[in-house]
Amino acid sequence: MPIGTAGVATDTRQPRPKDGEHQPGWFVSRRVDIYFVFGLGALLSAILFAAESHKGVFLVGAVAFSLLSDLPHVLTTTVRVWLDPRERSRYRVHYLLSFAVVATIVGVLWFGGWLVPLLAIWAYWQVFHVLKQHFGIMNIYASKNGYKGPRNRLKYALYATCLAPVLYRASHGLHFSEYEVFGHRLPFSNLSVPVPPIPNALIVIAYAVAAVLLALAVAEQVRLRRDGQTTLPPMAVATFIIAALSYNLSYLLVSDLFALILIATTTHSLQYHLINWTRNNTRFAASQDPREKKLLLARLSTRKALPLYVAGLALLGILAGQLDTVIFAVPLMFVLHHFYMDGALWKSKGNPELAYDLGIVRAK
């Protein structure tokens, strides 16, 4: 290699990004976003999907995923509110009141012996919670990459494409299998979530509507490209495709409701870990308050402390997971409250710094 070429190669080597610095258009970087969310998410989904027919193997994978990723992502909502003074001052009352309501409803249903209605709330709400986040991630990638076009058709197409297979599975019944983990029988074993009668014609109509809405969304993007306008960026398109594939493959081919919930949550939980860490990292790196730099969440959200951040959340997940076999209602309170509270935490209204923390708007 010529000496001049070697010199150029050395000079163009990019320095390692600092805290608060992320590759434009991405949460962290192209490699991290793609490999962590899509690569690892697809791998976890495939493992759970393949193990579903082997009950023992599936339960080992389900427990590991629940403790190390799913429950930790649920608990990051609580961690964010109580360990970030800015969030605590804004959402403390909202958090406490809403948690009291959720805990009361869950407690009444659990101790009253109405477990089936409680499971129905969990199963149905989870579907919409995950879909809402998929569309939110699409929106963020779109905004990060300068997309200013219409989004309603994309939202309708996403929901229709993912809900059609849910309707199909519901028509065949939503059943939990028998689960025994380390000698403990899970409380929702062999239970079924109530479903109204669903005729086959309705499923055909649902898929027809999904096809039409998808065609309209694609046509809209084609028109934008033809007019020379910015179209939906590749990562937003990939998020749509992954969501659609995940829902259709799992709900069409898997019958066990617990497996369905976990498979749908794999990419979802990884998305949440990525966006939450990015938000924390950027938020505290940009802080001008030296006292905030010393906070536990600020220290754990640095790049150097990432292993400790992961280990801390995993420990919380393991501790919370012990309650699943004792009082399932307690972790379920946090799960359902996480579904609700995220609707407030991830809205720019009332949280003006959020666009900066997520890298949608660059700080001046």
pLDDT, residue 6, reads 41
Sign (positive/negative) of CA torsion 23, 342, 114, 320?
Answer: positive
pLDDT, residue 325, reads 56
Cβ distance 154 to 218 under 8 Å?
no
Give this prediction's pTM. 0.90
Q: CA–CA separation, 272 vs 254, rounded Å? A: 24
Residue with tokens 């699409």: 138
Q: Which segments in the chain show pLDDT lower than 70? A: 1-16, 324-326, 363-364
pLDDT, residue 245, reads 92
pLDDT, residue 126, reads 95
pLDDT, residue 58, reads 82
pLDDT, residue 326, reads 60
Cβ distance 220 to 229 under 8 Å?
no
pLDDT, residue 271, reads 94
164's tokens: 């059609």
Cβ distance 91 to 345 under 8 Å?
yes
pLDDT, residue 52, reads 74
Residue 266: which H helix or E strand, with range?
helix 257-285
Cβ distance 134 to 158 under 8 Å?
yes
Closest to 37 in 3D by CA, of 265, 262, 359 = 265
pLDDT, residue 13, reads 52
pLDDT, residue 12, reads 47
pLDDT, residue 292, reads 92
Closest to 270 in 3D by CA, of 22, 39, 8, 21 = 39
pLDDT, residue 24, reads 85
